[in-house]
Amino acid sequence: MPKATSPLAVALAYDGLCTFEFGVAVEVFGLPRPELGPDWYRFAVAALDPGPLRAMGGIRVEADGGLDLLDQADIIVIPGWRGATEPVPDALIAALRQAASRGACLLSICSGAFVLAAAGLLNGRQATTHWRYATMLADLYPDIQVVPDVLYVDEGNIMTSAGSAAGIDLCLHLVRRDFGPEAANSVARRLVVQPHREGGQAQFIEAPVPIAREGARLAPLLDHLRDSLAEDHSLSSMASKAGMSLRTFLRRFQAMTGTTPGEWLLTERLSRVRELLECSSLPVEEVATLTGFGSAATLRHHFRQRLGLSPASYRARFRRTSLPEQATAKKGAVVADHAQISER
């Protein structure tokens, strides 16, 4: 069982609950994961309204407690909201402000950003929401720097994500930040989703589901590229391996992935760089060689351009060792005493 010192994640439940978004929080933070050690998240559900609560699809939800649970939470997940213009109760606003002031992490999925906005917690910050609601969020709350075309935004202890499935990306990002890439990859494997998507990736792709023949021909190529990031990969060599003309390859690669081969390779290489920086003590020069950047200078240029900091600064901030050692280091950062929550 998770210990009383392990982080407590609390999902907000309300009448009219967004079922999918709530399910994301439960799946990532609420499922027992003994393979990740005894310090994995604990989980509880806090009810905003008297229960049982109605969720979309005719589901009824019975919570573990009321808003008082937010006082003990290290992570608060707001899984959508009733509507962009639906008022947010004063009691919830006060609880969220108090949680933010003591350093709890507040995470919204999809329209849940409107709850954080109503509490004034996004003022002066970047934030995102579902692309359909981005303009409305900017119009209603002009002090927010709305970023409409990304999957999620990490502003430290305040995080926002785009449409429903982007909530998975943000939750995995938080797992990665808390427990490292190995833990995030483990959760992603059980979810059968991609382990890591950059927050800056576009929300909307014209053809998100590839034509079957394209997937069959390009998927092996993508696997090969991931396994050989240190090698040079020209457009002509990739097209040849996929058995396509260059023009056809470029068109079908864009249709399947939503980006160009060069941009896709850069994203994959940077993702691998981050894993190596977090989980190894290899010098940056060797990391550059292993990931196909060739030189440390080239790696530093792309890393800083994409992530806004140097590889050395990233390693200093996110260096990870084993999961037990990570959990030990985290204990000192747990703010609240969670003894009142029964171990689940």
- Burial string for 104-121 (b: 16+ CB within 10 Å, else e) reads bbbbbbbbbbbbbbbbeb
- Of the two residues 179 and 333, the one the predictor is more confident about is 179
The one-letter code for the residue type at 172 is L
pLDDT at 2: 59
Q: Report the C-alpha gap between 257 and 67 in whole angstroms.
A: 42
* pLDDT range class, residue 48, cuts 50, 70, 90: very high
For residue 1, pLDDT beyond 80 = no
Q: Are 158 and 213 in contact (CB under 8 A)?
A: no
315: left (phi over 0), alpha (psi -120 to 50) or beta: alpha
For residue 275, pLDDT beyond 60 = yes
Mean pLDDT of 30-50: 94
Residue ranges of domains in the chain: 8-191, 212-258, 263-325
pLDDT at 196: 61
Q: Which fold has domain 263-325?
A: Arc Repressor Mutant, subunit A (1.10.10)
User: Which CATH number does the domain 8-191 belong to among 2.60.40.1930, 1.20.140.10, 3.40.50.880, 3.40.50.300?
Assistant: 3.40.50.880
Residue 107's DSSP bridge partners are: 77, 159
- Of the two residues 329 and 254, the one the predictor is more confident about is 254
73 by Cβ neighbours in 10 Å (0-12 / 13-18 / 19+) ranks as: buried
Helix (H) or strand (E) holding 20: helix 19-25
pLDDT at 283: 95
CA count, 13 A, side-chain hemisphere, 164: 8
SS3 171: helix
Report yes or no on whether pTM surpasses 0.85.
no
How many residues make up the chain in this entry?
Answer: 344
The one-letter code for the residue type at 55 is A
pLDDT at 134: 94
- Of the two residues 87 and 309, the one the predictor is more confident about is 87
For residue 309, pLDDT beyond 90 = no
For residue 278, pLDDT beyond 60 = yes
Read off the tokens for 327: 């959990």
For residue 298, pLDDT beyond 70 = yes
Mean pLDDT of 307-332: 64
Q: Report the C-alpha gap between 295 and 46 in whole angstroms.
A: 50
* pLDDT range class, residue 212, cuts 50, 70, 90: very low
- Mean pLDDT score across all residues of the chain: 86
Answer yes or no: same fold for 8-191 and 263-325.
no
pLDDT digits (tens, 9 = 90+) for 143-200: 999 998 888 999 999 999 998 889 999 999 999 889 988 888 889 888 888 666 665 5
